[in-house]
Amino acid sequence: MTDTRHGPLRLRPAHERDAPFLERMLLEAFHWDRPRFALAELLALPRAAHYVSGWPGAGDFGVVAEDARGRGLGAAWARHFPADDPGYGHVSPTLPELTLAVVPGERGTGVGGALLDALVLAAEEAGCPGLSLSVEDGNRARGLYERRGFVPVGREGDADTLALRFGGR
């Protein structure tokens, strides 16, 4: 079990009631280096909003990290996007795209790694062929993804698309 600054870390599945927390975590994912948007501005961008819009949809899955008091520390979730409405890290409609974010005060404490490991396990258990994501240049999370086996498969603007394929699928 990972310990946070506030005690042991608890991981649990993400539910419909977590949608507001996932919205906040989506904002944190975009704010990895500096504030860029207000939440309403971010959710007004269709390509960003569909990471949380209608959560959870068919085939969606995710994990929420909480401290011992139940305070949300981060979340990781995955969604399938069609080719005609892709996310930033889209590879194919069969490969779900993950979003991962940790609250600023808990970054670098192992919360992100625990979330990623739990989401990878959930994806494997769901029979997914792998996961994909987008990571901007300079984002420290890239090292975490690469240590877990994600490799570059594309580039858009100042971000790489990374993918992790499971067992030759």
Write out residues in the chain with pLDDT < 70, as ranges: 1-7, 34, 168-169
Question: Is 14 a domain residue?
Answer: yes
Domain count, the chain: 1
| Res 124: pLDDT | 96
Which two three-digit tokens encode residue 83?
């080719």
Question: Is 156 a domain residue?
Answer: no
Supply the range of the domain harboring residue 113. Answer: 3-131
| Res 16: pLDDT | 96
Question: Is 137 a domain residue?
Answer: no
Using DSSP, state whether 86 is helix, strand or coil: coil
| Res 107: pLDDT | 75
Question: Is 74 a domain residue?
Answer: yes
Q: Are the beta carbons of 50 and 85 closer than 8 angstroms?
A: yes
What's the predicted TM-score (pTM) here?
Answer: 0.90
- In the sheet with 159-165, reading across from the earlier edge strand, the strands are 10-13, 61-66, 72-79, 97-102, 130-136, 159-165, 151-156
Question: Is 23 a domain residue?
Answer: yes
For residue 121, give the CATH number of its domain.
Answer: 3.40.630.30
| Res 3: pLDDT | 54
Question: Is 127 a domain residue?
Answer: yes
| Res 4: pLDDT | 54
CA distances, 55 to each of 18, 33, 51, 61, 62 (Å): 9, 26, 8, 9, 10
Question: Is 139 a domain residue?
Answer: no
Question: Is 144 a domain residue?
Answer: no
